[in-house]
């Protein structure tokens, strides 16, 4: 109970929690599938998977990156089995923070951030600014240790008032301009392989050019309570049920008998 209260408090006050992966077996399956898919087209002698991921930039052609990413999404990430691995690593935390009847984003996002590559940057944003519901939480899963610019940043919830004040005063409301002003207040997520991050995507977050000499490989996926309000992303097209209670399954198919006149 104390454990639950601490997570709740941390999520509300800070806007994010870093947790140990709840099922190592499934994390290893995720790591192994991603590894098998990425190493297909790469000739590279390496000691272990972590070394391969961290040094990925040394052995791939940047122009092939998108092909590799799409190939992985189509052949692995979109499969039911893979989505279940992802859910199982964070299920208990989701139950505390989001609910026990859930929808999951149909397509898990996959990200490769090579050192000094500016082709896939996410400037400061909140997902709600582009139509996501505030009821969605993001599970961010690193497949390597992430720190400093190899990671992502987020403005903690207890600093959100600072953002609001700057946002209202600032004439040029471009993301870059506002980021410059809140930069000293954001937190860089220091997270290890074996942990995951759950965060409130209404808080400004993003990344910058990865200036560390290692590649970042990470995934992210949104979860929300089935019956909480939806934004522009609906059930069916973007989300699919992952956990429903028996009464909900029965009720969904129930039809009130109608007396014919
Ligand atoms: Fe985002």
Which H, E and C letters describe 215-237, residue by residue?
Answer: CEEEEEEEEEECCCCCCCCCECC
CB of 94 within 8 A of CB of 137?
yes
pLDDT recorded at residue 191: 98
Separation of 141 CA from ligand 1 center, angstroms? Answer: 13
The dihedral through the CA atoms of 25, 29, 31, 35 has a sign that is positive
Rg of the chain, C-alpha, whole Å: 20
CB of 205 within 8 A of CB of 46?
no
Task: Give the β-pairing of 195-200 and 16-20.
Answer: antiparallel
Rounded CA-CA distance 120/66 in Å is 10
CB of 76 within 8 A of CB of 219?
no
Rounded CA-CA distance 209/213 in Å is 11
Q: Report which of 9, 209, 15 is spatially closest to residue 127, judged by C-alpha positions.
A: 15
pLDDT recorded at residue 114: 95
Separation of 127 CA from ligand 1 center, angstroms? Answer: 5
Separation of 224 CA from ligand 1 center, angstroms? Answer: 15
Rounded CA-CA distance 249/23 in Å is 27
Q: How many residues does the chain have?
A: 261
Q: Which two tokens stand for residue 127?
A: 């997902």
Separation of 134 CA from ligand 1 center, angstroms? Answer: 12
Write out the residues surrounding ion ligand 1, Cβ under 5 A.
127
The helix or strand, by DSSP H or E, that contains position 103, with its residue range, turns out to be: strand 102-105
Site of tokens 């808080």: 203
Rounded CA-CA distance 33/156 in Å is 33
Averaged pLDDT in 10-residue chunks for the chain of 261 residues: 93 98 98 93 83 92 87 91 97 97 96 91 95 98 98 97 90 87 96 98 97 97 97 95 96 91 79
CB of 126 within 8 A of CB of 206?
no
CB of 113 within 8 A of CB of 150?
yes
Rounded CA-CA distance 13/159 in Å is 10
Residues pairing with 111 in the sheet: 218
Cα angle 214, 152, 146 (rounded to 5 degrees) comes to 40
Separation of 255 CA from ligand 1 center, angstroms? Answer: 39
Longest Cα separation, the chain: 77
Separation of 206 CA from ligand 1 center, angstroms? Answer: 7
Separation of 15 CA from ligand 1 center, angstroms? Answer: 13
pLDDT recorded at residue 62: 84
Separation of 44 CA from ligand 1 center, angstroms? Answer: 33
Task: Give the β-pairing of 187-188 and 109-113.
Answer: unpaired
Separation of 126 CA from ligand 1 center, angstroms? Answer: 6
CB of 106 within 8 A of CB of 77?
no
pLDDT recorded at residue 243: 95
Separation of 120 CA from ligand 1 center, angstroms? Answer: 13
Task: Give 2-252's CATH code, choosing from 3.30.565.10, 2.130.10.10, 3.40.50.720, 2.60.120.10.
Answer: 2.60.120.10
- Chain centre distance of CA 255: 37
Separation of 179 CA from ligand 1 center, angstroms? Answer: 14
Site of tokens 């990425």: 38
pLDDT recorded at residue 56: 93
């Amino acid at each position: 109970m104390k454990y639950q209260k601490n997570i709740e408090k941390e999520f509300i006050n800070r806007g994010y929690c870093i947790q140990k992966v709840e099922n190592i077996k499934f994390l290893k399956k995720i790591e192994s599938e991603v590894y098998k898919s990425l190493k297909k087209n790469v000739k590279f002698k390496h000691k272990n998977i972590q070394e391969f991921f961290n040094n990925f930039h040394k052995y791939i052609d940047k122009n092939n990156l998108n092909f590799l990413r799409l190939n992985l999404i189509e052949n692995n990430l979109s499969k039911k089995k893979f989505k279940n691995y992802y859910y199982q690593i964070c299920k208990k935390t989701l139950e505390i923070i989001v609910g026990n009847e859930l929808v999951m984003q149909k397509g898990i996002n996959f990200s490769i951030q090579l050192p000094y590559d500016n082709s896939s940057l996410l400037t400061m944003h909140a997902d709600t600014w582009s139509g996501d519901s505030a009821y969605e939480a993001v599970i961010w899963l690193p497949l390597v240790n992430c720190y400093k610019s190899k990671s992502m940043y987020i403005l903690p919830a207890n600093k959100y008032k600072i953002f609001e004040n700057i946002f209202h005063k600032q004439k040029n409301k471009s993301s870059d301009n506002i980021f410059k002003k809140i930069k000293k207040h954001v937190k860089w997520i220091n997270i290890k392989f074996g942990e995951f991050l759950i965060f409130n995507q209404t808080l400004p977050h993003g990344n910058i050019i990865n200036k560390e000499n290692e590649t970042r490989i990470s995934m992210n996926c949104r979860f929300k309570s089935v019956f909480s309000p939806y934004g522009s992303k609906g059930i069916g097209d973007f989300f699919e049920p992952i956990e429903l209670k028996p009464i909900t399954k029965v009720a969904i198919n129930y039809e009130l008998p109608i007396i014919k006149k």
